[in-house]
A and B are shown apart, each in its own frame.
Chain A
Amino acid sequence: MTIRIPLLGSTAVLVVAGCAASQAPKELVDARAAYARASAGESAQLSPAALHDARVALDAAETSFSNDGDSTTTRDEAYVAARKAQLAEVLAATEIAKRDQEVAKNQADAARKQNAEATRGQLAQAKEQLATAEQNLQQADRDLVKEREARAAAEKKAREALDRLSVANALAVKDEPRGTVITVPSGVLFASGKADLLPGARARLEPVAEALSHEQDHKILIEGHTDSQGSDASNLELSQLRAQTVRDFFAAHGVPADHMTANGLGEARPVADNATAEGRANNRRVEIVIQPIEKR
């Protein structure tokens, strides 16, 4: 009897050990963990059907384990349950990637649209600039035509003024290669050997100044000339002073000073014979040369 009691005790131990031996197989442990992970993640929202399949498979494995313990069927079913839980996770991750792609596509579309709008804007701006440039060009053409007409009118007026000068004031006006030359005899302007204007000179020079004032587009060269009497140096100086006096007179009577140049040439360029009194009178002169300013 004393022996049987420990035997009964060992039987109880064996029964307990038997239960302990029937602990969940690795496949079932893995399946439970896989399901727990999947259900804690995005699968509940993004792949609920697959997660449900995993739950059903896990329940089947658990039932199998309850009924049969660690059987082949339990392990296989648990294995399948674990794979289904993984499948649910993978499907959720795929859905997330799909949504990311959609977002990126929308962003790309928006960027494309924005770029297209920017390009359209640039195009419109360029067209506008082109239109403005064309308008400016047309305006410039019109301005050019007007300017030509104005210049032609001014030239006509200047020519008429010169013609009047020639006719009314009995001054020699000649067209030469270097320009239009108005010759004023020194005798009517200056006393012998002097560079101050005679009282009567103003009446002779004023119509010339009036005609020159129309010559806006010309430069005016005022040259003093003498006869060959006296020294070269004194003639040069006298002619320079006389030219200067005439230039100052014109400047005071509305001819732009910056268009005029005064130059004394002395006896260097006679137009007549210095041996005769008449020739010398012709050589003593002031020439006003109207030269066109070179076209821009």
Chain B
Amino acid sequence: MAQFKRVWLLWPVLGVGACASAPPPVERMASAEAAVRAAREVGSDRVPSAELQVKLAEEEIQKARALSNDGDNREAETMLLRASADAELAVALAREDQQKVAAQRALDQANELRSSPDRAPQEDVK
């Protein structure tokens, strides 16, 4: 019976111990926020698909903040993994769009040069 009592007493200790083992995900938060900033810097707001990913990332950062405030640091941390993944995808989508635009411009220029030799356009500085 005394053994049972000891076990019961240990439960809260274990619970507290579990919470204490997951500190607030400060680094992941900083990393996710940096990824969002990077996405904005490459012009994600000009590419709808990239803009969507940025918005998702921002929402996930908010959720992670709320989870961390509630002490759910482990869940906050994996939520921030989502945020980073979304922001990184946003960067890639924005760059993909820019690259496609540049490729199309180069193709148009090549076609123009081949069709009208007299009017040679200036080489595009990229």
Binding site for B on A (CB under 8 A): 72-73, 76-77, 79-80, 83-84, 86-87, 90-91, 93-94, 97-98, 100-101, 104-105, 107-108, 111-112, 114-115, 118
- Cα of A70 to Cα of B69 in the assembled complex, Å: 24
Question: A98 contacts which chain B residues (CB < 8 A)?
Answer: 99, 103
CB pair B120 A97 closer than 8 Å: no
| A108/B99 contact (C-beta < 8 A), A72-B75, A83-B86 known | no
CB pair A118 B117 closer than 8 Å: yes
- Cα of A118 to Cα of B118 in the assembled complex, Å: 10
| A105/B110 contact (C-beta < 8 A), A72-B75, A83-B89, A111-B117 known | yes
- Cα of A114 to Cα of B117 in the assembled complex, Å: 9
Question: A91 contacts which chain B residues (CB < 8 A)?
Answer: 92, 96
B82 interface contact, C-beta 8 A: yes
B85 interface contact, C-beta 8 A: yes
Question: A86 contacts which chain B residues (CB < 8 A)?
Answer: 89
Specify which of A72, A90, A104, A115 is in contact with B93 (CB 8 Å cutoff): A90
| A115/B96 contact (C-beta < 8 A), A77-B81, A100-B107 known | no
Question: B92 contacts which chain A residues (CB < 8 A)?
Answer: 87, 90-91, 94
- Interface of A, helix, strand, loop or mixed by DSSP: helix
CB pair B78 A83 closer than 8 Å: no
CB pair A90 B106 closer than 8 Å: no
6 intermolecular pairs with C-beta atoms under 8 Å apart:
A72-B78, A90-B93, A104-B103, A108-B109, A112-B123, A115-B120
Q: For the complex, count residues of B whose C-beta is within 8 A of A.
A: 28
CB pair B89 A90 closer than 8 Å: yes
Question: B85 contacts which chain A residues (CB < 8 A)?
Answer: 79-80, 83-84, 87
Binding site for A on B (CB under 8 A): 74-75, 78-79, 81-82, 84-86, 88-89, 92-93, 95-96, 99-100, 102-103, 106-107, 109-110, 113-114, 117, 120, 123
CB pair A76 B120 closer than 8 Å: no
Question: A108 contacts which chain B residues (CB < 8 A)?
Answer: 106, 109-110, 113, 123
A94 to chain B: closest residue by CB: B96
Specify which of A76, A90, A94, A100 is in contact with B81 (CB 8 Å cutoff): A76
CB pair A76 B82 closer than 8 Å: yes
CB pair B79 A76 closer than 8 Å: yes
In the assembled complex, how far is the CB of residue B75 from the closest CB belonging to chain A, in whole angstroms? Answer: 5
Specify which of A90, A93, A101, A112 is in contact with B113 (CB 8 Å cutoff): A112
- Cα of A104 to Cα of B89 in the assembled complex, Å: 27
Specify which of A72, A90, A112 is in contact with B120 (CB 8 Å cutoff): A112
Question: A90 contacts which chain B residues (CB < 8 A)?
Answer: 89, 92-93, 96
In the assembled complex, how far is the CB of residue A296 from the closest CB belonging to chain B, in whole angstroms? Answer: 41
- Cα of A184 to Cα of B61 in the assembled complex, Å: 129
Identify the interface centre among A72, A87, A90, A107: most chain B CB within 10 Å of its CB. Answer: A90
B88 to chain A: closest residue by CB: A87
- Cα of A86 to Cα of B123 in the assembled complex, Å: 34
CB pair B99 A101 closer than 8 Å: yes
Question: B78 contacts which chain A residues (CB < 8 A)?
Answer: 72-73, 76-77
- Cα of A131 to Cα of B117 in the assembled complex, Å: 27
Specify which of B79, B86, B88, B117 is in contact with A115 (CB 8 Å cutoff): B117
CB pair B106 A111 closer than 8 Å: no
- Cα of A107 to Cα of B105 in the assembled complex, Å: 13
A90 to chain B: closest residue by CB: B92
Given A104-B107, A105-B106, 17 extra CB contacts under 8 A: A76-B78, A77-B78, A79-B82, A79-B85, A80-B81, A90-B92, A93-B96, A93-B100, A94-B99, A97-B96, A97-B99, A97-B102, A100-B106, A101-B102, A104-B110, A107-B110, A111-B110
- Cα of A84 to Cα of B117 in the assembled complex, Å: 45
- Cα of A91 to Cα of B94 in the assembled complex, Å: 11
In the assembled complex, how far is the CB of residue B108 from the closest CB belonging to chain A, in whole angstroms? Answer: 8
In the assembled complex, how far is the CB of residue A191 from the closest CB belonging to chain B, in whole angstroms? Answer: 83
